[in-house]
Amino acid sequence: MLALCAANAAYLAGLEAGLPDGRACLVAGTGGPLAAMLRRGGVTATTLDEHADILRAVEGPLSAGIVLGAAPVAELLEESGCDAVLPFKSGARLWKMAEWQGLRVLAAPHQLTRQLENKLALVDIAADAEARIPDTVTVRLDDDLAAAARKDGIALPRVFQPAVGFAGAGTVMLRTGRDVVDLVEHPPGGTAVGKLVEYVEGSPVTVNGVVVPPGVHGAGPEGEVLVGMVARQLTGIPGLTPTDFGSCGNDWALPPSRTDVASTRSLARNVGEVLAARGFAGAFGIDVVLPDRGGVPVLIEINPRWTASLALQVELQALAGLPTLLDAHLAAFAWHADDRAPLDQLRAAYGEEEDAGCTRNVAAASTVIAYNASGRDTHVDPAFEPGVWRTVGDADAPDVERVRDGWRFGDLETEDEFLALPAGVVRPVAHGSYLVRIVRRGPSAADPRAHDIRPDARAVIDAVLRRVSR
């Protein structure tokens, strides 16, 4: 059995459907009501916020390493016969806990992923991949930078990105010298080093892929790079994130042009080949901007790990009868290799063809993620349970009501239904932290720029936000 491990259960819920015979269990830091619903559906699951004594002993963020090392999790994994763990995001502690429990970690070594995900490394990787990136300058947030801004010595507008971040946290648009001075005086997350990046006008998209290492699962001496679906990326939407470029979900119902799909997937393949040459294996994602003025896609970010968009993407692939990127990821680590789709089938779905059957042949779906943008801590209302919900009442200002259990896109039966997967109810949700995910049929992006959402999607998310926290 495979353990799916994350700080928040909502990031991996539904992924268990990609494994036959229920051979997965989900363990997480928060999301107790979601874990309870999973168990009602026959899925093995637990979260630390279901164990008050352990939660009281843990200070700070509930990382995957803390989750995996907790006594009730270790006991559950031993009872379930788990032999491996797929982490949403791994670190040194997770690897140590996995070794202690005799579990294989189905991810690239944490030292390598930390090096590759550092945004300052993007320049070197892009050069090797022959990828276009925005003009980039590494900076230190200090008095010298503030002085240069006061003297108009910095070309603006620019985007500041901290060296390491998640879901756009700490990424700031700088339009004036005053913005730069404010950034120096109030560095996001206390960071001291980052980069100033040219702002590229265009449409943000994301794509995931899998690196199969040389000699594994039939791959040749240089390995194999498989590239999946291209999705619009919702970013910086007011009310859903407190940051200028915070990631707010994905839309698979509004695909880019065939030319943009082909060029984006080609870029992802080139990046994957560079990652493979550096020893990386498994799932990765890249974020790209399709410039308004045309031309080649611009590489913005590399995520050398399992990404937040993959759980829904894997389900959409399975519903379309495709071998999934989960299957490809597990093949990359030769986990129960005989159960994995052969490499020729994976190539047919995620190979070099323009669409490779994996962008336009899936159900129209989108997911919107709301982070706490209130400016203060909040709590999820215990009365707001995860599951299938629907809109009721006035179409322009609807209310929502829970219909039944459900956590997969396939659980939606009618057009007015959607999934709502909130954060756990025990710990407060800090400003900027994950609050709730909504998965719905059809598009959510208002247009290809995806900086706003459609009125019907906005009405749903606003109704959920009114109900989800207290």
Q: Whole-angstrom Cα distance, residue 311 to residue 231?
A: 13
> Of the candidates 366, 368, 364, 370, which has an alpha carbon nearest to the alpha carbon of residue 431?
370
Report H helices in 243-393. Answer: 258-277, 310-319, 325-332, 343-350
Render pLDDT for 419-436 as a digit per residue (tens, 0 to 9).
Answer: 999 999 998 999 889 999
Q: What residues form DSSP beta bridges with 163?
A: none
In the chain, the percentage of residues whose pLDDT exceeds 90 is: 61
- Whose structure tokens read 């519903």? 319
- Can you tell me the mean pLDDT for 193-218? 90
Residue 61 is predicted with a pLDDT of 79
Asked if pLDDT for residue 168 goes beyond 60, the answer is: no
User: What is the structure's pLDDT at 265?
Assistant: 93
Residue 87 pLDDT: 96
- Predicted TM-score (pTM) of the model is 0.90
Q: Which residue has the higher pLDDT, 75 or 61?
A: 75
CATH level 2 (architecture), domain 136-198:
2-Layer Sandwich (3.30)
Per-residue pLDDT, averaged over 140-157, amounts to 80
Cis peptide before 255 (omega within 30 of 0): no
92 or 52: which carries more pLDDT confidence?
A: 92
Res. 180: pLDDT tops 90 = no
**Tens digit of each residue's pLDDT (9 = 90 or more) over 313-329:** 999 988 888 899 999 99
pLDDT score at 170 = 72
- 252-308: pLDDT as tens digits: 988 888 888 999 999 999 999 999 999 999 999 999 999 988 889 999 889 999 999
Q: Mapping DSSP to helix (H, G, I), strand (E, B) and coil, where does residue 193 land?
A: strand
Region 233-244: mean pLDDT is 88
- pLDDT score, position 355: 59
216 vs 156 pLDDT, higher one: 216
Rounded mean pLDDT, 175-193: 79
Q: How far apart are CA 295 and CA 266, in angstroms?
A: 14
Average pLDDT, the chain: 89
Tell whether the model's pLDDT for residue 163 goes beyond 70.
no
Q: What's the mean pLDDT in 215-234?
A: 93
Choose the weakest-confidence range: 27-36, 165-174, 452-461: 165-174
> Is 356's pLDDT higher than 60?
no
Q: What band does 9 get if pLDDT is binned at 50, 70 and 90?
A: very high
Which CATH superfamily hosts domain 113-129+201-350? ATP-grasp fold, B domain (3.30.470.20)
Residue 167 reports pLDDT greater than 80: no
8 A C-beta contact, residue 65 and residue 93: yes
Looking at mean pLDDT, say which of 162-171, 188-197, 404-413 comes out highest. Answer: 404-413
Q: Is the per-residue pLDDT at 15 higher than 70?
A: yes
**What are the boundaries of each domain within the chain?**
2-107, 113-129+201-350, 136-198, 365-468
In the chain, % of residues over pLDDT 70: 95
Task: State how far the Cα of 241 lies from the Cα of 22, in Å rounded to an integer.
Answer: 35
Residue 223 reports pLDDT greater than 90: yes
pLDDT score of 322: 86
Q: Cα(324)–Cα(380) distance, rounded to whole angstroms?
A: 33
Q: Residue 464 has what pLDDT?
A: 96
**256 neighbors 448 (Cβ within 8 angstroms):** yes
pLDDT, tens digit (0-9, with 9 covering 90-100), for 75-113 = 999 999 999 999 998 899 999 999 999 999 999 999 999
pLDDT of residue 169: 59
Q: Which residues lie closer than 8 Å to 28 by C-beta, 6 or more apart?
A: 5, 6, 7, 8, 9, 11, 12, 35, 45, 47, 48, 62, 67
Q: How far apart are CA 285 and CA 288, in angstroms?
A: 10
Residue 445 has pLDDT above 80, yes or no: yes
2-107, CATH topology level = Rossmann fold (3.40.50)
Report the alpha-carbon distance of residue 454 to residue 137 in Å, rounded.
Answer: 36
Pick 142 or 39 by higher pLDDT: 39
More confident residue, 59 or 370: 370
